[in-house]
A and B are shown apart, each in its own frame.
Chain A
Amino acid sequence: MSGAELLGYLRADGRKGIRNVVAVAYLVECAHHVAREIVGRFRDRPVHLIGFPGCYPNAYADRMMRRLCTHPNVGAVLLVSLGCESFNRRALEEHIRASGRPAATLVIQDSGGTRRTIARGAEWVEEWLSELDAQITVPMALSELVVGTVCGGSDGTSGITANPAMGRAFDLLIERGAACIFEETGELVGCEHHMASRAATPELGREIVACVEKAARYYATLGHGSFAVGNADGGLTTQEEKSLGAYAKSGASRIVGLLKPGDLPPAGGLYLLDVVPDGEVRFGFPNINDNAEIAELISCGAHLVFFSTGRGSVVGSAVAPVIKVCANPETYRKLEDDMDVDAGRILEGRATLDEVGREVYELALRIARGERTKSESLGHQEFILTYKTFEPAGPACLPVAA
C-alpha cells in the first residue's frame, strides 16, 4: 500500500491541509465587524472568520492565533486590526509569512475607516482565492491526518451510542497511523487512573493523573456540580460511570501523549488535550462553550473534528470541518439536516456500535477527501477565543517525540 489514501495541500512545514481556506482574522473586537463584512462578501466560498476579541495581550491567545493562522487547512491570511489594540499584529504577520503563506494586515485607523477597509480587504481576499483555487493537491497518507473529538449537548444516549462509536472510529484511524486527540479533562474526573493505565509510559500516566486533578480543583473552585439527579433517572448510577460516557470517545488505543492547546502531535497515536489553564483560577470557566474546545483541538493541528451530540447541537467551525454524530434517534429525526451520522440507530437495533464506528471512520475519509459536512454546507463557521494561561507541557508528556 502506498499509504496515500488522501489528497492534501502541501505547506512549507511539511504538513498537508484537507481544505484551502483564506482566513480573515480580527485582532480585537473593534475590528470584528469589518472582518465579518469582508468574509460576508464570499458566502459559499472558502473564506473563514477567526479572531481574538480582547484588547489586552495574552500569551495563550497569541499562540492560538499563530497556530490557527498557520493551520494546514489555511492557505492565506488577512489580518484586520483597529490600530490601537495591544495584539502584536506585526509579529503575527511575520510568523504567517515565514510559514510560506501570503499574509496582509489592514489597519482600520490607517485605511480610511470601515467602508474603505472592507473594500480593500475584499479585493485582497478575491485575489488570493483565485490563487488558492489554482493550487494543486499532493498525495496524503492517513498517518498525516489529525482528528479531534468533542461532545456537546449531551444526554443519556451520548455515552452509549455516539461516544463509543467515535471511539471505535478513533481506533481504526490510529491503527492506520493517524493522530487522534480527545479532551474535556474536567469531565474525565474518575477516569484518570484508567487513563494512566493506558499511557505509553508510567511518567506520562502520572502527568495524566495530575492533569485531571488540576481540572477537578479548577472546577471545584468555580463551584461546578458533578453528578445530578437527572443523570440517575437516565440510568447512570455513579460519577465514574458518567465520566466514562465522555471517556468512551477516546476508544481503546494506548495514550501516547498529553498536549496543551497549540501543541502539535509529533507522531500518530492517541493524545489527551489538557484544556484547563495552569496556575490560579482566573478568566472564568476553562472553556465557555463547545467551540472554544473545538478551536483548541484545531490549534493542535486537527484537520477535522468529531462532535457527538444527544440533544442536538448544530454548530460547525471555522478552519476545520466538524462531523456531527447524533447519539439520540429522536433528535436525529428532528434535526436530520444538521447531523452527519445517525448513531441512535444502535438504540433501535438498526446498527451495531462497530457498524456506526466504521461509518464514522469512512465518513471521516470522505470529508478529508473534500466532501462537505452538513455544517459546512449550511455555512456554519462558529469560532471563539478567550483569555487563558498555560505553562509549557513537561518532557514526560510527549514520550513519543523522542
Chain B
Amino acid sequence: MGSSDPRLVLLAPEDNCVVVAQALRAGDHVTIDGAPVAIAKAIGVGHKLARRAIARGEKVLKYGAIIGTASAPIARGEHVHTHNLESDYLPTYTLESGRTFVAKQA
C-alpha cells in the first residue's frame, strides 16, 4: 500500500486519490505516501482525498480506472468530489458514440 495511514485506503497503486475509511474532522492530520497533510474540513467515510496535486483537466483514477476529469485544480489532501470532479460519462455519453474510459498504459 502506498499509504500507511490506516484511516485511508489506496485501492490501486496508480490511483491519484485515496478513500477515507474513518471520518475525518477539520484540523486532523493524515499521512499520504509518508508525508503529512492537514484536513481542511470534515470528511465522511467513503469520500476521496487527492493523493497528490491534480491539475484541472487531469483524469482522476480510482481502482486504477478513470472516474472522471478534474473540473478545478485539486491540492494534495483536498476533498475530491462533485465540486472539483466531473463525470466523463453522464453529460455526453450516448450508447452510439461510446467514450474511452481506459487509463493510458505506461
Which residues of A are interface residues toward B (Cβ below 8 A)?
Answer: 156-157, 160-161, 164, 190-194, 196-197, 209, 213, 216-217, 227, 232-241, 244-245, 247-248, 252, 346-349, 352-354
- Closest-by-CB residue of B relative to A167 is B63
For B22, what are the chain A residues with a Cβ–Cβ distance below 8 Å? 347-349
Known pairs A156-B45, A217-B95, A235-B47; A164 contacts B89 (CB<8 A): no
Q: Which of A161, A236, A240 has the most CB of B within 10 A?
A: A240
How many inter-chain contacts with C-beta < 8 Å in the A-B complex?
107
Q: Which of B11, B46, B82, B95 has the most CB of A within 10 A?
A: B46
Instruction: Tell me if B68 counts as interface (CB < 8 A to partner A).
Output: yes
For A161, what are the chain B residues with a Cβ–Cβ distance below 8 Å? 9
The CA of A106 and the CA of B100, in the complex, are separated in Å by: 56
Contact with A along B2-20 (1 / 0, CB 8 A): 0000110101000000011
> Does B67 lie within 8 Å of A237, measured CB to CB?
yes
> Does B11 lie within 8 Å of A164, measured CB to CB?
yes
> Does B63 lie within 8 Å of A238, measured CB to CB?
no
Instruction: Say how far A337's CB is from chain B's closest CB, in angstroms.
Output: 25
Give me 14 other A-B pairs in contact (C-beta within 8 A), A193-B98, A348-B22 excluded: A156-B46, A193-B101, A194-B101, A235-B20, A235-B48, A238-B85, A239-B90, A241-B68, A244-B65, A247-B63, A348-B21, A349-B21, A353-B1, A353-B9
7 closest A-B pairs by beta carbon, nearest first, are: A349-B6, A235-B46, A235-B47, A238-B87, A241-B67, A156-B46, A347-B21
- Chain A at the B interface: SS class: helix
Instruction: Say how far B42's CB is from chain A's closest CB, in angstroms.
Output: 13
The CA of A397 and the CA of B60, in the complex, are separated in Å by: 31
- Closest-by-CB residue of A relative to B45 is A347
Which residues of B are interface residues toward A (Cβ below 8 A)?
Answer: 1, 6-7, 9, 11, 19-22, 44-48, 62-68, 80-82, 85-90, 93, 95, 98-103
- Closest-by-CB residue of A relative to B86 is A238
Known pairs A238-B85, A248-B63; A193 contacts B68 (CB<8 A): no
Instruction: Say how far B23's CB is from chain A's closest CB, in angstroms.
Output: 10
Interchain Cβ contacts under 8 Å between A and B, 30 examples? A164-B11, A190-B93, A191-B101, A192-B101, A193-B102, A194-B66, A196-B102, A209-B98, A217-B95, A227-B90, A233-B44, A235-B19, A237-B48, A237-B80, A237-B81, A238-B86, A238-B87, A238-B88, A239-B90, A240-B65, A240-B67, A240-B68, A240-B87, A240-B88, A241-B62, A241-B67, A244-B62, A248-B11, A349-B7, A349-B21
